[in-house]
Amino acid sequence: MDYQAVLEEVAAHARPYVRQGRVADYIPALERVSADRFGIAVADIHGEVYGVGDWEVPFSVQSISKAFSLALVMAQSHGGHDDGIWRRVGREPSGTPFNSLVQLEAENGIPRNPFINAGALVVTDRLQTLTGDASTSMLHFLREESGNPDLAFDQSVADSEAEHGDRNAALAHFMASFGNLENPVPSVIEHYFWQCSIEMSCRDLAVAGGFLARHGLRADGSRLLEAREAKRINAVMLTCGTYDAAGEFAYRVGLPAKSGVGGGIIAVIPGRCTLCVWSPGLDARGNSVAGAAALDHFTTLTGWSVF
C-alpha cells in the first residue's frame, strides 16, 4: 500500500469539507483555532509514519484522551486482565447525546460506556486511584509512545474547561451521590480537564495509538495490553467512540475510532495501521466533518473497513 499516495488522494477528496461545520466554541481556547486546518497521518504497525497537510501541527486532543485513559486503566489492572472498571461503567452505546444525565439517573450512576463524559470521569477516577496522578501518568505515556518528549498540557484550555465545567461537575457529583467515585469530585474533574487539554499532532496521535493496531504491543515491542484487551478497546471505540453518531460512523467508515471536539479523530485498522485526521469544523454531533469524510474515503480507497 502506498500510504503517501492514498493520503494525498484522501486529502484532496476531503478538502471541500474543510470549513464545513462549526469550530467548538464552548471554550475560548478552542474557538481560536482556524477552521482551515486539515491534516492526516498514518502510522503502520512497523512504525512508519506518513502524513499530509497540517499533520504535524498540535491541537487539543480533548475526548481522544478517553481512549488512552481506558487503555491505561486496563493495562494497570491485575496482569492486564479486565478488572473492576466494568462494574462501574458499561459498554453499551448511549443512544443519547454525549453528556446526558438521563441514563445515568435511570441506571443508578453507572455510565453507559467509558467514552461519554460520565464514563470517562469514572475511568479517570480509577486511573487516579491506580497511579496517584491520572493526568501526569497519561502525559508520560503519550510522550513515550509518540516519541515526542515535548507533549504538554495546555493550561489555558484546562483552565477554560474548568470555568465552563458545570456540566461535568454535575455529572461527577451525581455519580458521587451513587457512590461511583473513589476520589474527591474536584480532583477527578481537574485531572479529567488536564487530560483533555493535552496538545498533540496527527503524527503524535497516530504513533501513540499504534498499540491498538498491534494487538496491544507498544512501540518498543513490550506488551501494554493482551491482544484480547486491545481488540476490546477497538470494539468499544467502534460502538461508542464517536458520540451518538457511532452507528452512522460504523455504517459509513467501518473502523474503530475516537473523536474529540478539538476536531481530531483517531481510527484503527487492526493488524495494519492507526490513523489520525484533524480538521476543526464539527458536525451537529461533535465529530469533524472533513475528518469523517477523509476516513470514509480512506476505507473506500483501501477497502479496509473491518466489515
The phi and psi torsions of 267 (rounded to 5 degrees) equal -140, 150
> Residue 282: is it exposed, middle or buried by C-beta count within 10 angstroms (0-12/13-18/19+)?
buried
Minimum CB separation of residue 53 from a copy of itself in Å reads: 26
Minimum CB separation of residue 249 from a copy of itself in Å reads: 9
Q: Using the rule CB under 8 A, is 6 a contact of a copy of itself?
A: no
**CB 251, CB 268: distance < 8 Å:** no
Binding characters for a copy of itself, 70-99, by CB under 8 A (x = yes): --------------------xxxxxxx---
Report the 3 state secondary structure along 130-143: HHCCHHHHHHHHHH
Among 49, 243, 258, 277, the one annotated catalytic: 243
User: b or e along 127-142 (b: 16 or more beta carbons within 10 Å of the residue's beta carbon)?
Assistant: bbebbeebbebbbebb
Instruction: Examine the residue annotation and report whether 243 is marked as an active-site residue of this protein.
Output: yes
Strand partners, 259: 265
Radius of gyration of the chain (CA): 18
Return the range that interacts with a copy of itself (CB under 8 A); candidates 14-22, 59-67, 101-109, 138-146. 101-109
Q: Using the rule CB under 8 A, is 60 a contact of a copy of itself?
A: no
Q: Which amino acid is at 161?
A: E
Q: Using the rule CB under 8 A, is 119 a contact of a copy of itself?
A: no
Choosing from 103, 156, 187, 302, the residue that interacts with a copy of itself (CB under 8 A) is: 103
Choosing from 46, 166, 221, 222, the residue that interacts with a copy of itself (CB under 8 A) is: 166
d(CA 275, CA 203): 9
**CB 162, CB 189: distance < 8 Å:** yes
Among 10, 66, 73, 197, the one annotated catalytic: 66
Choosing from 77, 300, 301, 302, the residue that interacts with a copy of itself (CB under 8 A) is: 300
Instruction: Examine the residue annotation and report whether 63 is marked as an active-site residue of this protein.
Output: yes
DSSP assigned state of 34? -
Q: Report the binding-site residues for substrate.
A: 63, 117, 161, 168, 192, 243, 261
List residues binding a copy of itself (CB under 8 A).
90-96, 100-105, 112-113, 164, 166-167, 169-174, 176-177, 185, 227-228, 230-232, 234-236, 238-240, 244-248, 250-251, 254, 256, 270, 300, 303, 305-307
